[in-house]
């Protein structure tokens, strides 16, 4: 059995009005749901992205096993009513993993526990939730709306829960997204892929945030249509984007969460360009570019204050200049990443991305008969080789390019690298290994140069008010020339790289 749902966090000012909206004209009583979540001491289930709980639903105890998937909406789920079960004195009845044997979720559980032999399952945290529900029908199917209010408790710590869930009861998964659009825009909700199990696990460990989600590998098959391949790429990008966006929107995040979110957005845009001509929401790339840009100021400020500050301080002291590092700020660096992710434009983008991932993909191209369809490998190789020729032409004349031209080349290199990583399964490993190594080396070199250029632009805004900014500009200009000289051999290697062959 699969569970298809989306979960959202509710702003404090909207909680009462949202409760009334879910209740409707004929409100039902809220149901109390008390659950105990179990895992091994070494978190075998959490590491396998699974959750095992025993929950009291009214007078009935139910044992539930869930397993996350990578598409942002779907979870494996298996429920077993515990008929007549009750612990002594009303305590939680013991959990029994064997109840899920022979199911897809149970097989995953067996694998997870097999990797932790001899470790007993124990209760790690509890939840106490009041839930109000309502069924809503849409043109694409019916969904259940659920507003959860309560607590997650682990040891002496408690975490408040104010969540709104939309679960598919029947019809297309797009029904969940359609319903979500209305409720998100009306009440300012923001998407959160973190389950209660994930949040409870972090609370039990005393951890404030989940680790940043890096990109996962894509496995395209030669017999895929372009539409199927694009959906596979979009699903991988969505996993990276949604997980990091959820953590950033929570307000508790690190710089690396913002960085990995921007990487995911860049990969998304690269994937859309790679499959240009394949039907997909035309606004997806533009919205991803807009969010990428809004988060760029925060990322650039981190680079300026972190990477260059210590070295500049040392250089100033060596020259006998008193005082700290001169102030450098970006003109549009005032947006708080959490607020950016919570706004309507960003939430619409995330829902659009989910809609694209869950769109029905045809088995063959709709524009031509199957026999006339160009093989996926040949189609992608032609596009990748064309991109390579353009990038190689700029790489050969890199010293002559201005900062804008160098930045354009850097973006082309990134796009080419991500597109090659998406397509890697279609080509021979030996064919790709050296080429990807050359691409990564060039990307690293050009990224370092771009960071210097960004810092120079920031210091230029303060040169008339802080004499030390002039020193910083001179120091950065010299650093840029050194970095350019170091990049030239890697640029030449890339420009000479062998093109990809067709099947």
SS3 per residue for 276-341: CCCCCCCHHHHHHHHHHHHHHHHHHHHHHHHHHHHHHHHHHHHCCCCCCCCCCCCCCCCCCHHHHH
Q: What is the dihedral of CA 470, 474, 476, 477, to 10 degrees?
A: 130
Q: What distance lies between CA 403 and its chain's CA centroid?
A: 30
Q: Give me the pLDDT at residue 430, please.
A: 83
Q: Give me the pLDDT at residue 419, please.
A: 96
CB 302 within 8 A of CB 325: no
Q: What distance lies between CA 305 and its chain's CA centroid?
A: 25
> What is the pLDDT confidence band of residue 187, given thresholds at 50, 70 and 90?
very high
Averaged pLDDT, 165-189: 97
Q: How far is the C-alpha of 362 from the C-alpha of 355, rounded, in Å?
A: 15
Mean pLDDT score across all residues of the chain? 90
What backbone torsions phi and psi does residue 437 show, to the nearest 5 degrees? -60, -40
Dump pLDDT digits (tens) for 126-155.
999 999 999 999 999 999 999 999 999 999
pLDDT at residue 371 is higher than 50: no
Burial label, 130 (beta-carbon count in 10 A; 0-12, 13-18, 19+): middle
Dump pLDDT digits (tens) for 51-101.
999 999 988 899 999 999 888 899 999 999 998 766 555 678 999 999 999
Which DSSP category does 498 fall into? Answer: P
Q: How far is the C-alpha of 3 from the C-alpha of 65, rounded, in Å?
A: 11
Please indicate whether residue 264 or residue 323 has the higher confidence score (pLDDT).
264
Please indicate whether residue 359 or residue 179 has the higher confidence score (pLDDT).
179
CA angle 375, 378, 380 (to 5 degrees): 105
CB 406 within 8 A of CB 488: no
Q: Give me the pLDDT at residue 223, please.
A: 95
Q: Give me the pLDDT at residue 383, please.
A: 95
Q: Give me the pLDDT at residue 501, please.
A: 67
Does domain 2-207 match CATH 2.40.320.10? yes
Q: What is the DSSP string of 477-490?
A: HHHHHHHHHHHHHH
CB 37 within 8 A of CB 203: no
pLDDT at residue 369 is higher than 60: no
pLDDT at residue 22 is higher than 60: yes
| 235-495: CATH superfamily | CHAD domain (1.40.20.10)
Averaged pLDDT, 442-460: 90
pLDDT at residue 428 is higher than 70: yes
Q: What is the DSSP string of 49-79?
A: TEEEEEEEETTEEEEEEEEE-SSSSEEEEEE
Crossing angle of the two packed helices 376-396 and 255-274, in degrees rounded to 10: 110
Q: How is the chain split into domains, by residue range?
A: 2-207, 235-495
Dump pLDDT digits (tens) for 398-416.
999 998 999 999 999 999 9
Q: Give me the pLDDT at residue 329, please.
A: 62
pLDDT at residue 201 is higher than 50: yes
Lowest mean pLDDT among 20-29, 139-148, 178-187, 267-276: 20-29
Please indicate whether residue 215 or residue 466 has the higher confidence score (pLDDT).
215
Please indicate whether residue 194 or residue 463 has the higher confidence score (pLDDT).
194
Q: How far is the C-alpha of 141 from the C-alpha of 177, rounded, in Å?
A: 11
Q: Give me the pLDDT at residue 306, please.
A: 72
CB 113 within 8 A of CB 143: no
Provide, rounded to the nearest whole percent, the portion of the chain with pLDDT above 70. Answer: 92
From 74, 90, 113, select the one nearest 36 (Cα to Cα). Answer: 90
> What is the pLDDT confidence band of residue 332, given thresholds at 50, 70 and 90?
low
Provide the β-strand partners of residue 143. 136, 168
pLDDT at residue 104 is higher than 50: yes
Please indicate whether residue 286 or residue 373 has the higher confidence score (pLDDT).
286
335 is written with which tokens?
Answer: 């947006």
Dump pLDDT digits (tens) for 147-173.
999 999 999 999 999 999 999 999 999
Q: Give me the pLDDT at residue 368, please.
A: 45
Q: Give me the pLDDT at residue 367, please.
A: 45
């Amino acid at each position: 059995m699969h569970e298809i749902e989306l979960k959202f966090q509710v702003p404090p000012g909207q909680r009462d009005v949202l409760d009334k909206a879910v209740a409707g004209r004929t409100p039902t009583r809220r149901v109390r749901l008390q659950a105990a979540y179990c895992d091994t001491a070494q978190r075998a289930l959490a590491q396998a992205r699974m959750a095992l709980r025993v929950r009291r639903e009214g007078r009935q105890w139910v044992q539930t096993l869930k397993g996350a998937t990578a598409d942002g909406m779907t979870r494996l789920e298996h429920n077993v009513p515990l008929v007549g079960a009750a612990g002594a004195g009303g305590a939680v009845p013991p959990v029994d993993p064997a109840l899920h044997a022979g199911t897809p979720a149970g097989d995953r559980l067996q694998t997870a526990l097999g990797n932790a032999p001899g470790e007993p399952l124990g209760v790690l945290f509890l939840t106490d939730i009041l839930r109000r529900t309502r069924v809503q029908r849409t043109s694409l199917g019916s969904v259940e709306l659920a507003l959860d209010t309560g607590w997650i408790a682990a040891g002496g710590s408690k975490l408040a829960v104010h969540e709104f869930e939309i679960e598919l009861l029947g019809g297309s998964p797009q029904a969940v997204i359609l319903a979500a659009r209305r409720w998100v825009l009306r009440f300012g909700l923001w998407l959160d892929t973190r389950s209660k199990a994930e949040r409870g696990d972090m609370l039990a460990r005393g951890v404030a945030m989940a680790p940043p989600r890096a990109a996962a590998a894509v496995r395209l098959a030669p017999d895929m249509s372009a539409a199927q391949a694009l959906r596979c790429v979009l699903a991988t990008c969505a996993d990276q984007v949604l997980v990091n966006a959820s953590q950033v929107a929570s307000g508790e995040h690190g710089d690396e969460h913002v960085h990995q979110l921007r990487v995911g957005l860049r990969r998304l845009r690269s994937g859309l360009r790679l499959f240009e001509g394949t039907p997909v929401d035309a606004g997806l790339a533009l919205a991803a570019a807009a969010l990428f840009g809004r988060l760029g100021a925060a990322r650039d400020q981190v680079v300026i204050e972190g990477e260059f500050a210590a070295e500049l301080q040392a250089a100033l002291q060596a020259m006998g200049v008193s005082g700290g590092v001169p102030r450098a700020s970006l003109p549009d660096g005032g947006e708080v990443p959490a607020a950016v992710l919570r706004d309507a434009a960003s939430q619409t983008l995330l829902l659009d991305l989910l809609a694209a991932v869950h769109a029905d993909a045809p088995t063959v191209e709709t524009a031509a008969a199957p026999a006339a369809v160009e093989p996926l490998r040949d189609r992608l190789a032609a596009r990748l080789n064309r991109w390579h020729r353009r990038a190689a032409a700029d790489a050969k004349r890199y010293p002559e390019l201005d900062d804008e031209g160098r930045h354009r080349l850097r973006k082309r290199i990134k796009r080419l690298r991500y597109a090659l990583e998406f397509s890697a399964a279609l080509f021979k490993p030996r064919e790709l290994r050296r080429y990807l190594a050359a691409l990564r080396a060039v990307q690293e070199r050009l990224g370092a140069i771009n960071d210097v250029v960004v810092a120079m632009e920031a210091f230029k805004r303060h040169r008339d008010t802080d004499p030390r900014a002039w020193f910083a500009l001179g120091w950065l200009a010299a650093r840029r020339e050194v970095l350019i000289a170091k990049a030239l051999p890697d640029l030449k290697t890339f420009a000479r790289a062998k093109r990809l062959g067709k099947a």
